[in-house]
Amino acid sequence: MHHEQFYTLTASCPDRVGIIARVSGFIAGLGGWILESSYHSDNDEQRYFMRMEIRAASLSCDAAGFRRQFAALAQELAMDWQLTDSAVKKRVVILVSKQEHCLYDLLARWQAKELDIEIPCVISNHETFRGFVEWHGIPFHHVPVTADNKPAAYAAISRLFEAARGDCMVLARYMQIIPPELCAALPGRILNIHHSFLPSFVGARPYHQAYQRGVKLIGATCHFVTPELDQGPIIEQDVIRIDHSDSVADMVRYGKDIEKAVLARGLRYFLEDRVLLHGNKTVVFR
């Protein structure tokens, strides 16, 4: 990560000759200094993906000016694109239930500035972590979720997210199913950590499912949330080896460590604009 201010340009478009030349030429025309660049061509879909970091001080315009001038080229190339500013911290709203490990890990990384973000609030369907969250100086909102109040509860969560001006919502072992309406309102902006190596063992109690199957590897998956349970585009995964002597409790204990690491990596990739959505897949420029 660079210590100076930079802009990150991410884009995807139909593949064709000369995309890099056109974009880098445009940046050079503004005096831009490219600090880092990554590209990927999807041969099956004939689609091109790119990510560039540009030194802000080298440009002859600010971010708004860049966006205005780049829009014509982007339209010509039929691009889906965005430009973000490293000086503007992303705002991450965390949702949690009664499992503490992912919440503790994210707040520790935030406090240590390993994750250079704003956490405007934490939302939970239980009161369990109010004291811990408020000790960090972060507002805590208790929104109970029951079989009878789900529409009202998720409407309240949506309002809290909007009031917090959230950039993304992180489900840090939030053990509730996000309704389709909220998924549709925040496409590619809700991240979840699932405690299995998807697509294996979706839904509840995946460690118990894995134990019953006698697997030799267990894992965790950070993915975007969609209306289909645990079927969203995958951002990051990892595994750990186990054997016949490990109990379900052992697997849960091992799994907590890998869940924390996978969620933190996946969130970091998202925050650094390294994740480009492509249907039900992602391109992740590490």
CATH classification of the domain holding 24: 3.30.70.260
- Mind listing the pLDDT tens digit for each residue in 213-226? 999 999 999 999 99
Element (H, E) at 207: helix 206-213
Residue 152 covered by a domain:
yes
Handedness of CA 20, 83, 2, 101 (dihedral sign): negative
Task: Find out whether 233 and 280 touch, Cβ atoms under 8 Å.
Answer: yes
Q: Are 232 and 222 in contact (CB under 8 A)?
A: no
Q: Give me the number of domains the chain comprises.
A: 2
Pairing relationship of beta strands 140-142 and 80-85 according to DSSP bridges: unpaired
**Is pLDDT above 70 for 238?**
yes
Residue 151 domain-assigned (yes or no): yes
51 with 109, same domain? Answer: no
pLDDT band, residue 198 (cuts 50/70/90): confident
- Asked if residue 141 and residue 234 are part of one domain, the reply reads yes
pLDDT for position 168: 97
Show which residues are catalytic. Answer: 230
Asked whether residue 137 falls in the same domain as residue 77, the answer is no
221, 197 Cβ separation under 8 angstroms: yes
Are residue 70 and residue 123 in the same domain, yes or no?
no
Task: Quote the domain boundaries for residue 208.
Answer: 92-284
Backbone CA torsion sign across 118, 230, 219, 132 = positive
And the tokens for 257?
Answer: 């460590």
Considering 37, 62, 85, which residue would you say is the last residue of a domain?
85
CATH number, domain with residue 152: 3.40.50.170
pLDDT at 1: 62
Co-location of 118 and 260 in the same domain: yes
Mean pLDDT of 92-109: 97
Task: Mark whether 253 and 122 lie in a shared domain.
Answer: yes
The structure's pTM equals: 0.95
Query: Is 101 within the bounds of a domain?
Result: yes
Q: Does residue 114 lie in a domain region?
A: yes
Residue 176 has a pLDDT of: 93
Asked if residue 1 belongs to a domain, the reply is no
Considering the domain boundaries, does residue 29 fall inside one? yes
Residue 202: the pLDDT is: 83
Q: Is the pLDDT of residue 162 over 80?
A: yes
Q: Are residues 123 and 225 in the same domain?
A: yes
Task: Find all residues with CB under 8 Å of 33, minimum gap 6, and list them.
Answer: 54, 55, 58
Q: Is the pLDDT of residue 128 over 90?
A: yes
Of 220, 283, 285, 286, nearest to 251 by C-alpha is: 220
Same domain, 231 and 124: yes
Residues 80 and 102 in one domain: no
Q: Looking at the structure, do residues 135 and 260 belong to the same domain, yes or no?
A: yes
Burial 220-229 (b: 16+ CB within 10 A, else e): bbbbbbbeee
Three-state DSSP at 118 gives strand
From residue 246, give the alpha-carbon distance in Å to each of 142, 220, 241.
Answer: 36, 17, 10
**1: which 2 tokens?**
């990560």
Is 237 contained in some domain?
yes
Among residues 85, 103, 125, the one where a domain terminates is 85
Question: Are residues 276 and 163 both part of a single domain?
Answer: yes
What type of residue is 278?
H
Q: Quick one: 278 and 146 in the same domain?
A: yes
Of 37, 55, 85, which closes a domain? 85
